[in-house]
Amino acid sequence: MHEITGDEVRFGPFQLHLGRRELRRDGAPVRLGDRALDILCELVAARGQLVTKADLLARVWAGTIVEENAIQVHMSALRKVLDEGSRGRSRVTTVAGRGYRFVGEADEQPVDLMLHDKPTIAVLPFSNLSGDRDQEYFADGVSEDIITNLSRARWLLVIARNSSFAFKGKALDARQISRELGVRYVLEGSVRRAGDRMRIGVHLVDAADGAELWAERYEARLSDVFTLQDEITQCVAGAIEPELLRTEGLRASQRRSEQLGAWELVRQGTWQFHQITRPTHRLARELFRKAVAADAQLPEAHMWLGRVNESIVGYGWSEDAASDLREAVQSSLRGVRLDERDPFGHYALAMSYLFSGALDQAVPCAERAAELSPSFALAHLGVGMSRLYAGDAAHAVLPLERGLRLNPFDPQNFHWHRCLALAHHFSGAPEQALAAAIRATQVAPQWRPAWEAMIVCLLATGRTDEARRHAERMRALDVPPSDVLDQLRFGNPAWATQMAEAICAVT
């Protein structure tokens, strides 16, 4: 900790005299630039309170017009002096997107990587491994586009491009960068070009311990560099967003709910939600309700309460579907009104409308979610499902395929594969339908609706004997029936009849 006596502040081996603007270490003067020393004095005088970037610019550069990155330059010099011998812990912490806080003696004050109620991430400039400096623009472009796409996730704070690009070309590990920027996660990557082929590697790192959470490699031909850049950017952003949601949910699930604030209650609820069982969905709903009660102005709390209610109805776990759907629509609408630019909110509202039978409202809500965040996998899946339920199977295929490509490991992908199977089936592509149905059963072998879709698709391709074998396997499942197709059947009676006749023919 630090001790303040009059104008003198002591922390570790340092003594700072605010009146004389003098910094000493073990009694000897420390050489430090005027601006860096001014910044230190402002931070120390705040006595542990946050000092915003705007405040620093106004006080240290009074009457002078400078760019915000001027603070970063002098902050780096200041930290280099203060953190020498501090065992890797910084005496000045960054509050992502807001400002800085002086924490004093680093040996007793570890950096808190959760200085904001939202998780934070820095996307570092991708390394160009091609040996060709002319390809530097492509590596930088991929990094910048990922920053832009991730910034559309309202639950996540993304460090601005100028801050993360300050580390371009520097050999620092994630933990060092996290101390500089105050982030919990770091996304690193590399780009290598060989002829007309491009390979991009991406790694998501937990900055607290340097552990790798997720990694992927992408390869493609360089026939259209900008199309390739857009495709990779959306794939990366779409893949790491659910990974971060799962990680944050697990982090919150390890704490008792009475110790949590509204934001952490939501994170704990999302972890329970993604277990996809009746008990965990009901527990998630109670956590989301607690979050709403704790902070009625938190959009995510309302959005997730809407999502869990429509999901409970969809999976056949509701004891009062009408009541649950009313809460789903009301909660989702509230979330959208609190944050109209949140793609998750529009997706939740789309699904709430869909299960309520308001398909004419579900489709535009899902399309709005995809418009707000083109890398948001659930938005495209929601567009496909909404169009399918509205009877437009042909135009449901592409958004479903795109959503599955953006996030191939979503815990509910068994449902999306079955939707894709039915979209292919009702648009006249039986072989593609069967392939999707097979994937649905592989992801969730105990889910009866996946086997029903498999049987329908097998019969459509003339595989009657195989359909009968799978029907026997389906009857042997010791699980209660559940279905998410009630509204599809209601809005498309001809399809409902066709599916029912197919199942009856082999059971």
Region(s) of the chain under CATH 1.25.40.10: 255-394, 411-507
- The 10 Å Cβ neighbour count of residue 3 is 11
Average pLDDT over residues 239-247: 66
- Bridge-partner residues for 203, per DSSP? 188, 215
DSSP label of 125: P
Q: Is pLDDT of 94 > 70?
A: yes
Range ranked top by mean pLDDT from 30-44, 105-119, 268-282, 340-354: 340-354
Q: Which of 107-116, 286-295, 299-308 has the lowest mean pLDDT?
A: 107-116
d(CA 428, CA 96): 51
> Can you tell me which residue has the tokens 């594969």?
417
Please tell me the predicted confidence (pLDDT) of residue 3: 45
Decide which of 2.60.120.10, 3.40.50.920, 1.25.40.10, 1.10.3720.10 is the CATH code for 411-507: 1.25.40.10
Under 8 Å between Cβ of 90 and 133? no
Q: Which of residues 283 and 86 earns the better pLDDT score?
A: 283
Cα 218–Cα 220–Cα 221 angle in degrees, nearest 5: 160
> Can you tell me which residue has the tokens 């066709």?
498
Q: Per residue, what are the HEC states of 213-225?
A: EEEEEEEEECCCH
Q: What tokens appear for 426 in the block? A: 């009702």
Q: Is pLDDT of 244 > 60?
A: yes
Q: Which of residues 329 and 225 earns the better pLDDT score?
A: 329
Cβ neighbors of 161 (< 8 A, separation 6 or more) are 143, 144, 147
d(CA 199, CA 205): 20
Q: Is pLDDT of 111 > 50?
A: no
The fold of 120-240 is Rossmann fold (3.40.50)
Q: Is pLDDT of 408 > 80?
A: no
Closest to 96 (Cα-Cα) out of 74, 79, 109, 113? 113
d(CA 332, CA 307): 8
Phi (first) and psi of residue 16, to 5 degrees:
-115, 125
Please tell me the predicted confidence (pLDDT) of residue 116: 46
Under 8 Å between Cβ of 205 and 188? yes
Q: Which residues of 67-93 are buried (b: 16+ CB within 10 A; e: fewer)?
A: eeeebbebbebbbebbbeebeebbbbb
Provide the pLDDT confidence category of residue 469 given band limits of 50, 70 and 90.
Answer: very high
Phi (first) and psi of residue 25, to 5 degrees:
-125, 120
**Could you give the residue ranges of the DSSP H alpha helices within 188-341?**
225-253, 262-273, 278-294, 299-314, 321-338
Cβ neighbors of 443 (< 8 A, separation 6 or more) are 413, 414, 417, 450
Q: Is pLDDT of 394 > 90?
A: yes
Q: Is pLDDT of 89 > 80?
A: no
Under 8 Å between Cβ of 166 and 160? no
Provide the pLDDT confidence category of residue 107 given band limits of 50, 70 and 90.
Answer: very low
d(CA 326, CA 324): 5
Average pLDDT over residues 352-372: 95
Fill in the amino acid letter for 331.
S
Average pLDDT over residues 432-440: 96
Provide the pLDDT confidence category of residue 230 given band limits of 50, 70 and 90.
Answer: low
Q: Which of residues 208 and 436 earns the better pLDDT score?
A: 436
Q: Is pLDDT of 291 > 90?
A: yes
> Can you tell me which residue has the tokens 């972890």?
271
Q: Is pLDDT of 65 > 80?
A: no
Bridging pattern class, strands 28-29 and 51-52: unpaired
> Can you tell me which residue has the tokens 């709910």?
257
Q: What is the DSSP string of 42-104?
A: HHHHTTT--EEHHHHHHHHTTT----THHHHHHHHHHHHHHTTTSTT--SEEEETTTEEEE--
Provide the pLDDT confidence category of residue 256 given band limits of 50, 70 and 90.
Answer: low
Q: Is pLDDT of 108 > 50?
A: no
End-to-end Cα distance, the chain: 74
Please tell me the predicted confidence (pLDDT) of residue 18: 73
Cα 179–Cα 181–Cα 184 angle in degrees, nearest 5: 75
pLDDT digits (tens, 9 = 90+) for 144-198: 878 877 777 666 777 767 677 878 877 777 777 777 777 778 888 898 877 778 8
> Can you tell me which residue has the tokens 């580390």?
167
Provide the pLDDT confidence category of residue 479 given band limits of 50, 70 and 90.
Answer: low
Q: Which of 199-203, 208-212, 222-226, 368-372 has the lowest mean pLDDT?
A: 222-226
Percentage above 90 pLDDT, the chain? 34
Average pLDDT over residues 446-464: 93
Report helix, strand or coil for 189: strand
Please tell me the predicted confidence (pLDDT) of residue 63: 62
Report helix, strand or coil for 319: coil
Please tell me the predicted confidence (pLDDT) of residue 155: 65
The torsion angle over the Cα atoms of residues 161, 162, 165 and 167, rounded to 10 degrees, is -130
Class of CATH domain 3-102: mainly alpha
- The 10 Å Cβ neighbour count of residue 5 is 8
- The 10 Å Cβ neighbour count of residue 345 is 31
- The 10 Å Cβ neighbour count of residue 205 is 25
Q: Is pLDDT of 109 > 50?
A: no
> Can you tell me which residue has the tokens 């960054």?
94
Range ranked top by mean pLDDT from 223-232, 251-260, 329-338: 329-338
This model's pTM is above 0.75: no
What is the architecture of the domain spanning 255-394?
Alpha Horseshoe (1.25)
Q: Which of residues 394 and 169 earns the better pLDDT score?
A: 394
Provide the pLDDT confidence category of residue 446 given band limits of 50, 70 and 90.
Answer: confident
Region(s) of the chain under CATH 3.40.50.10610: 120-240
Region(s) of the chain under CATH 1.10.10.10: 3-102
Fill in the amino acid letter for 208.
A
Let me know how many helices (H) and strands (E) the chain has, helices first.
Answer: 21, 14
